[in-house]
Amino acid sequence: MKIDKLIQGKDNQIIFGTIGSLLTDKKVHEELGMAITSKDNDEWYVMYNGNDLLGFAVTRKTKSTKALHIRFLYLLDIDQAHKFKKLLIKEIIKNATNDNLKAVWTNDRKKERAWKDLKFNFTERSRGEFGRWEKKL
């Protein structure tokens, strides 16, 4: 298993060549709760098992709070998806720590246990089943 960290604007050919079809997949949008959007300098974490794509995450640094926002995180429907999701989140946390950021956060469903397992704190939002998961570094 490996995780590549790619930068949009620099590594576009690799990012979109690897993940392209997932970006427009209705099933992916339904799972994430919205369509995937991104811009230059977003960080993409792409997870593989050999040559097989396992999943990806898209992150963006926030200027005002010196934090990292995990905008999207998606794993293909694979065995042990929960385990791989936690590995991907741990890699993101490691990179955020190395970049001297103060926190990592995302918006996700309250029932998503990977965040709880990794000691993120949940804050209710008015968006139904979604809320904010945050971990101070």
**pTM recorded for the entire structure:** 0.90
Beta strands 2-7 and 67-75 are: unpaired
pLDDT digits (tens, 9 = 90+) for 24-56: 888 888 888 888 889 999 999 999 989 889 999
- CA–chain centroid gap for 98, Å, is 17
Rounded Cα gap, residues 74 and 100, in angstroms: 25
Strand positions, DSSP E, 16-80: 43-49, 52-62, 67-75
pLDDT single digits (tens) 101-129: 999 999 998 999 999 999 999 998 766 78
CATH number of the domain located at residue range(s) 2-103 in this protein: 3.40.630.30
Domain ranges of the chain: 2-103
Task: Take residue 23 and report the two structure tokens written for it.
Answer: 């970006």
